[in-house]
Amino acid sequence: MVERQKILQDSFGRIHDYLRISLIERCNLRCFYCMPEEGVSLRPRSEFMRNEEVLELAEQFVGLGVKKIRLTGGEPLIRKGVEDIIEGLAKLPVELTLTTNAVRVNEYVHVFKDADIKQLNVSLDSLDRERFRSITRRDYFDQVMNNIELLLMEGFKVKVNAVLMRGENEDEILDFVRWTEQTDIHIRFIEFMPFDGNKWNWEKKVSFQEILDKVTGAYGADGVVQLPTEKNATARNFRLLNGKGSFGVISTLTNPFCDSCNRIRLTADGKIKNCLFSNQEVDLLGPLRSGQSVEPLILEAIEKKKHARAGIEDFSKYAGHKNRPMITIGG
């Protein structure tokens, strides 16, 4: 059993106990907000963490107080040997979960159950088949919807992540919210965020207030109930009066939640990103392979974390901040 010996605390007193591990920089979808139109350069497999290295680094983080691990990508379920990684991580004293596009979920339901995974996040940006194909550049809509239904039938808690983009899908806000009326599903609207190659600009974002105004305009202020905010929550959550499910808004740009951030990201090539927007990274894979202790590197990386959004104060004037494409960071 891994023993937790230290805590990962930054200079602002925030304790980091939630690790998001990207398993792969590839995906079976091509969502334009995540992957540049020209794709990303394929690199030799040797530049990425091997299965045993994922597990070894995860153990290091758990020893430093990590209590929750989320697997991301790219699409984690296209990673060769992902079931072995899930099985290995399930032996650690952590809550284990993952984010997926659900294209291949039906192949892994038994793996999730064996690993005692109870909740999954599914990325889905449209409830319209043709618009789904336009955003993802692939035709998997029916498969994704069927697999979401399968997860619900099998007793999993499902959170659906929808990135809202003005001119693309903001007119579907109420369609997503209606889904929560009769279905125990949690919808999370995510503000469109800037990454290399995704053609972001400030005008394309849909703010927290605009989303809430649209819902209360349709259901009335008394028809929408705000839910308690959980510790370290990224979303402010609501439900419709008498609704079975709920919906929330992750407003990274217009209403950031950095004060309570407890998240660490480990990229598929073994680098720490202590903020989604940070272009500063700390390599763990190289030192791990050379036999060095990575614990001091982890501690130093977290201690140096900026107070908010990697030091970017004003996204309305955002320009020239180089970062990875989203697919190479991990959700």
Asked if residue 182 belongs to a domain, the reply is yes
pLDDT at position 251, please? 80
How sure is the predictor about 232, in pLDDT bands with cuts at 50, 70 and 90? confident
Q: What is the CATH number of the domain that holds 36?
A: 3.20.20.70
Asked if residue 4 belongs to a domain, the reply is no
pLDDT at position 234, please? 83
pLDDT at position 231, please? 84
> Residues 266-290: what's their mean pLDDT?
91
Percent of the residues in the chain that have a pLDDT greater than 90, as a whole number: 68
Asked if residue 118 belongs to a domain, the reply is yes
Q: For 201, phi and psi rounded to 5 degrees?
A: -150, 165
Helix axes 295-303, 51-63, angle to 10 degrees: 60
Asked if residue 1 belongs to a domain, the reply is no
The overall average pLDDT reported for the chain is: 90
pLDDT in tens, 77-86: 999 999 999 9
How sure is the predictor about 71, in pLDDT bands with cuts at 50, 70 and 90? very high
Asked if residue 56 belongs to a domain, the reply is yes
Total number of domains constituting the chain:
1
Asked if residue 7 belongs to a domain, the reply is no
> Residues 89-109: what's their mean pLDDT?
98
pLDDT at position 317, please? 56
Examine the pLDDT at 327 and tell me if it is beyond 80.
Answer: no
Asked if residue 12 belongs to a domain, the reply is no
Q: The whole model's pTM is what?
A: 0.92
250: DSSP letter: E
How sure is the predictor about 14, in pLDDT bands with cuts at 50, 70 and 90? very high
- At 7, the amino acid letter reads I
Question: What is the extent of the structural domain holding 287?
Answer: 18-328
User: Cβ distance 122 to 158 under 8 Å?
Assistant: yes
Q: Which string of b and e fits 214-249 if b means at least 16 CB within 10 Å?
A: bbeeebeeeebeeeeeeebebbbbbbbeebebbbbb
Asked if residue 194 belongs to a domain, the reply is yes
Q: How far apart are CA 140 and CA 322, in angstroms?
A: 32
pLDDT in tens, 152-200: 999 999 999 999 999 999 999 999 999 999 999 999 998 876 665 556 5
How sure is the predictor about 109, in pLDDT bands with cuts at 50, 70 and 90? very high
pLDDT in tens, 19-50: 999 999 988 888 877 776 666 677 899 999 99
